[in-house]
A and B are shown apart, each in its own frame.
Chain A
Amino acid sequence: MANHTIAHNVYVPFLEKKGILSWILSTDHKRIGIMYLISISFFFLVAGVFALLLRYELLTPASDFVQPHTYNVLFTLHGSIMVFFFIVPGLAASFGNFLIPLMIGAPDVAFPKLNLGSYWIYLLGTVIVLIALAKPADTGWTFYTPYSATTDTDVVLITFGVFVLGFSSILTGLNFIVTIHKMRAPGMTWHRLPLFIWASYATAVLQLLATPVVGITLLLLITERTLGVGFFDPAKGGDPVLFQNFFWFYSHPAVYIMIIPAMGVISEIIPVFARKPIFGYKAIAYSSLGIAFISFLVWAHHMFTSGISDLAATIFSFLTFLVAIPTAIKVFNWTATLYKGSIHLHSAMLYALAFVFLFTIGGLTGLFLGALAADIHLHDTYFVVAHMHYVMIGGTVMGFFGALHFWYPKWFGRMFNETVAKIAWFLIFIGFNVTFFPQFFMGIQGMPRRYATYPAEFESLMALSTYGSWILGLGIFIMTINLIAGLINGEKAPQNPYGSLSLEWQVPSPPPLENFEEIPHVTDWTYGYGKKK
């Protein structure tokens, strides 16, 4: 193993081969990563358009742009596509695929064919859901019973599609766990692993062990609608809240499937642009596993007003506060890394800083919702919407954009226009805050989510939020154009434009087919910045 070399004497970039078959049959983790990246970005933009339509409807109190039913369908599509097509596979599948073998010094993942299979299962799932759009569901992305068991929209097909997507997620997680255990280069000990790998590992465990539970839950919902099974139907002796228990047993860990990879990205970007070793390496590494573990213990905090027992609610409320510990550890360590660093405000770094700032707001407002008494008032209001978007956009999407800008030169071998990237970042940052910060106020004042109409007194805040969504949309549009333009006529990227010490920067940009001409021997961790060579 140690002296095992790969027989490539000439540098062949992995993007070399052309033709559609060379892509769709490729077992190269980098190409599979690109296919995921294109797919999830496409669905992100589509679901983003749905969000703009939702906000446009909310510009005025009356439902004058779309009918309430259409509005319900729109938010179901926005939520389902964002959650299941974009953010759950998201960073883990795209950047995870691209980076894990490169970062640990492996030629590929442990099971390359299975990896390709995961991608195809993902596509199959999306196709099934798209077919289901002929009669789009109006249940919201959570498919709560009893409504989902009784509505005459096509819930069976869309949930089956999500079930298939779950399989893809499971197999990706399985592949990454085995890869990280078995494929590390000689000398790449656990405590030398880049923190993105630790984050990916924690994510993969969640994908592997939480997803099957939502799988069986959705199957039960399907049998409820097709075979007349009554587990969730009180008339047959069932319990609709049981669905929520099962659903959130997955979907709360799923929140961490979405956010932990982004935390890994931030842990990579910050030391490079602060030119300092990461502060508290082990604390960050183990806090990823800690978050993953605690995420299994807190699911019912989504259900405080669903009629669960007071005892259970109290236990879950208490456990929820435990999440604050590992997340705070991360935030403190990132800021400590920045302290007295020689900070370079590259666009990727700007996204990372936005992450730390916005995610902190998202996390702190989460405490309000985790507190049992406050949640009774805030549940199902815009406060939840705002909190969730601060974590998901302010957190995961900022991490995703940061990763895009950071690894773009490595991935495509070209550079984008840095000035335009900074302008786009500014618009996104401002637009995001203008969109979602007012929603905290509306939520506290009692404005419930998921309504096409609202009382007139919310008009100014609602309109402000809608204007913000336009700025945000414009920013994302400019960013997208800038990144695409870079592909076409960007400058050639050097091997290591930021002077990073991580393994993926020690190979050419873009990397050759099997990554390393010779499997590297690792002698140190990847964060030794600012030391004399």
Chain B
Amino acid sequence: MSTHSHTEERHITGNKTYIIVWAALMVMTVVTVYVSYINFGMLNIVIALVVASVKASIVALYFMHLKFEDSITWVFALFPLSLLALLIGMTITDTFTRTIVP
């Protein structure tokens, strides 16, 4: 059985890229911690979640090589997120539009 075919086409990310990604993650961590000391009201949670999502995305794209995966991997990486959004979204819709608070 031949094994050479898949190792050749496989993408190997260089350490340089990894270190740049890591540095970016660290910078964003510092930013979130710093921002948390300033009061923006409701914006705080938005900023925190946006930064977290950017961090999560680059972890997935580079550390987890999602960038180099086929479309079916993308589908199964993203579809659960949309289901999670659905679960949160509809449960909140129910909880906060009830006329009688139990």
A and B touch in the complex (CB under 8 A): yes
Q: How many chain B residues have a CB neighbour from A under 8 Å?
A: 18
A246 surroundings in chain B (CB, below 8 A): 87, 91
Quick check: is B97 within 8 A (CB to CB) of the other chain? Answer: yes
Residues of B within 8 A of A241 (CB): 94-95, 102
Question: How large, as a class, is the contact surface on chain A?
Answer: 20 to 34
Q: Could you mark each residue 265-299 of chain A with 1 if its beta carbon is under 8 Å from any beta carbon of chain B, else 0?
A: 00000000000000000000000000000001100
A309-B91 contact in complex given A296-B83, A296-B86, C-beta closer than 8 Å: no
User: In the complex, what residue of chain A is closest to B70 when comparing beta carbons?
Assistant: A181
**Residues on A close to B: CB < 8 A?**
177, 181, 209, 213, 234, 239-242, 245-246, 249, 296-297, 300, 307-312, 315-316
Q: Is the CB of A311 within 8 A of B97?
A: yes
Task: Say if the beta carbon of B42 comes within 8 Å of chain A.
Answer: no
> B9-41 CB contact bits vs A (8 Å, 1 = yes)?
000000000000000000000000000000000
In the complex, the answer to whether A307 meets B95 with C-beta atoms within 8 Å is: no
Q: Does the CB pair B91–A245 fall under 8 Å?
A: yes
A308 to B79, Cβ gap below 8 A?
no
- Interchain residue pairs with CB less than 8 A apart (17): A177-B76, A181-B72, A209-B80, A209-B83, A213-B87, A242-B91, A245-B90, A245-B91, A245-B94, A296-B83, A296-B86, A300-B94, A309-B93, A309-B97, A311-B94, A311-B97, A315-B93
Which of B80, B83, B99 has the most CB atoms of chain A within a 10 A radius of its CB?
Answer: B83
- Does B98 interact with chain A (Cβ within 8 Å)? yes
Chain A residue numbers with a CB within 8 Å of B96 are: 309
Contacts from B to A (Cβ < 8 Å): 72, 76, 79-80, 83, 86-87, 90-91, 93-100, 102
A296: chain B residues at CB < 8 Å are 83, 86
Inter-chain CA distance A359–B93, complex, in Å, is: 33
Complex CA–CA separation, A311 to B89 (angstroms): 13
For residue A315, which residues in chain B have a CB less than 8 angstroms away from its CB?
90, 93
* A300 contacts across to B, CB distance below 8 A: 90, 94
Q: Is the CB of B87 within 8 A of A308?
A: no
Question: What are the residues of chain A within 8 A of B94 when measuring CB–CB?
Answer: 241, 245, 300, 308-309, 311-312
Q: Which residues of A contact B97 (CB under 8 A)?
A: 309-312
Contacts of A209 in B (CB 8 A): 79-80, 83
Whether the pair B98, A307 counts as a contact (CB closer than 8 A) is yes
In the complex, what distance in Å separates the CA atom of A209 from the CA atom of B80? 7
| Alpha-carbon distance A241/B76, docked complex (angstroms) | 30
